[in-house]
């Protein structure tokens, strides 16, 4: 995910949230030296921000005390989440695990309204009230337990992306639910980073400079070329809901079911965003889509590896081709780009980390502003396990959604919660483009 503009978003709130208490859960011994855990190349590739997500549960739910107790037990298995950033003796960035610092921030809050008044959960600046501020955060993990008048609960959780990717955080949340329910955490997270071995000798077989990382040394014009800012109030978030019937009966029928559900829907949304932005002719547009590298490496890295192991594929086209070529052609472009992100490409990234680990590596998106157009930054949460989070008590997960993000061009695919299935797509665009997208989002033209 690209860097998020840190400007304040003006908001007229309709949700009254009162913070009642805050504590820091720490598992380190202040009388011992912290353990140094070097950041991998994939940790360094991750964006330098907290990612905040909200999980809404219907009543009845366990007490805050039980949830916090379960969190404390779970963090013992996930010590990276209570670590601090630092540098090892060789000067490379690392996590400092244990010792007297770090910890996880836990906030308890109440909301004056009922959860039902805010359902279905929709993007809104109000969502920022349901988790601790992510700017200049002192801790790598933040949790806010928001109790509504009806007994409903929204858990606002944010974690620093350089500690863990989406798959790792979904595993943490499922484990937290297991601990609250009194179930043994299974599977336990894998912290063994020796799975990411460089070849001997290491070699970079692909062009990562300028695509994944800024060139070393950077060219004078590199930073200016990507730095496009607007007032955050000009950007809005919308949620597009696509039913299973629409995806299967309409979109996949258009592509003769040649491509995956994600590839097909991403291609459809890409075409609609391109039209909504008013791009045309030979203007080039690119998707930066995250790809899980665990199963691409040889040997594959177990799914329960904790940390970051994602990189990007880069489907490219012109506005004209997307308009004239139809959905099938766009889905083909997406499919082929993802396929090119092979095990060899992932291994090349591992080797790059070994060859250039002493350098100050800057991901390309670390230089971008809050407007990505004509780029689309696409994240898929479809194969993660966020919807499996269960704290017990009889209540059920009824919604989960990323927080309000004023980053034009960000697109997140989320499995719809409930029996009907389908996929929700959160899209962040300039307001005038979002209005157009809402009108054409389900058009097959």
Catalytic residues: 161, 390
Rounded to 5°, the CA angle 296-247-171 comes to 40
Q: How far apart are CA 60 and CA 54, in angstroms?
A: 18
Q: Which residue has the tokens 């990189």?
A: 311
- Beta strands per DSSP E along 8-121: 17-25, 35-38, 50-57, 84-87, 93-97, 104-111
Rounded to 5°, the CA angle 343-80-1 comes to 50
Q: How far apart are CA 15 and CA 154, in angstroms?
A: 13
199 by DSSP, 3-state: which? coil
- List the structure tokens of 16: 């009254």
In DSSP notation, 382-395 reads TTS-GGG----TT-
Task: Identify the helix (H) or strand (E) that includes residue 413.
Answer: strand 410-415
Cis status, amide bond into 374, omega within 30 of 0: yes
107 by DSSP, 3-state: which? strand
Q: How far apart are CA 4 and CA 392, in angstroms?
A: 34
Q: Which residue has the tokens 């858990």?
A: 155
Q: What is the 3-state composition of the chain as percent helix, strand, coil, each rounded to the nearest 5?
A: 30, 25, 45
Q: Which residues contact 211 (CB under 8 A, 6 or more apart)?
A: 314, 364
Evaluate whether 137 touches 159 at the Cβ level (below 8 Å).
Answer: no
Q: How far apart are CA 212 and CA 363, in angstroms?
A: 6
Q: How far apart are CA 362 and CA 422, in angstroms?
A: 37
CA 109 vs CA 22, 138, 184: distances in Å: 9, 19, 28
């Amino acid at each position: 995910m690209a860097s998020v503009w840190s400007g304040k978003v003006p908001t007229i709130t309709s949700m009254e949230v009162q913070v009642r208490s805050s504590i820091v859960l720490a598992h380190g011994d202040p009388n011992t030296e912290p353990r140094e855990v070097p950041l991998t190349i994939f940790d360094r590739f991750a964006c330098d921000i907290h990612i905040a997500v909200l999980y809404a549960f219907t009543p009845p739910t366990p007490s805050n005390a039980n949830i916090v107790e379960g969190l404390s037990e779970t963090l013992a298995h996930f010590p990276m989440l209570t670590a601090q950033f630092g540098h090892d003796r060789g000067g490379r960035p690392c996590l400092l695990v244990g010792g007297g610092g770090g910890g996880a921030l836990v906030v308890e809050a109440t909301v004056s309204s009922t959860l039902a008044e805010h359902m279905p959960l929709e993007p809104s600046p109000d969502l920022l009230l349901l988790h601790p501020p992510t700017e200049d955060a002192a801790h790598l993990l933040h949790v806010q337990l928001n109790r509504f008048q009806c007994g409903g609960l929204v858990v606002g959780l944010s974690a620093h992306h350089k500690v863990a990717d989406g798959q790792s955080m979904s595993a943490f949340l499922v484990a937290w639910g297991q601990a609250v329910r009194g179930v043994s955490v299974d599977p336990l997270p894998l912290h063994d980073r020796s799975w990411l071995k460089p070849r001997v000798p290491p070699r970079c077989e692909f062009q990562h400079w300028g695509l994944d990382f800024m060139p070393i040394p950077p060219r004078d014009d590199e930073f200016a070329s990507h730095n496009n800012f607007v007032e955050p109030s000009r950007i809005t978030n919308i949620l597009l809901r696509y039913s299973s019937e629409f995806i299967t009966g309409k979109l996949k029928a258009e592509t003769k079911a040649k491509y995956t559900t994600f590839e097909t829907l991403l291609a459809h949304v890409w075409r609609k965003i391109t039209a909504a932005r008013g791009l045309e002719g030979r203007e080039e547009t690119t998707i930066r889509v995250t790809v899980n590298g665990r199963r691409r490496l040889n040997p594959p890295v177990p799914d329960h590896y904790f940390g970051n192991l994602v990189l990007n594929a880069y489907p490219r086209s012109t506005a004209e081709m997307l308009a004239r070529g139809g959905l099938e052609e766009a889905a083909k472009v997406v499919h082929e780009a993802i396929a090119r992100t092979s095990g060899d490409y992932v291994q090349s990234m591992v080797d790059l980390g070994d060859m250039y680990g002493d350098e100050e590596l800057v991901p390309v998106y670390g230089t971008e502003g809050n407007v990505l157009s004509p780029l689309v930054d696409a994240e898929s949460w479809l194969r993660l396990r966020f919807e499996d989070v269960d704290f017990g008590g009889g209540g059920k997960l009824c919604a989960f959604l990323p927080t309000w993000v004023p980053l034009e061009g960000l697109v997140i695919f989320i499995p719809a919660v409930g029996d009907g299935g389908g996929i929700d797509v959160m899209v962040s665009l300039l307001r005038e483009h979002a209005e157009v997208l809402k009108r054409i989002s389900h058009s097959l033209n």
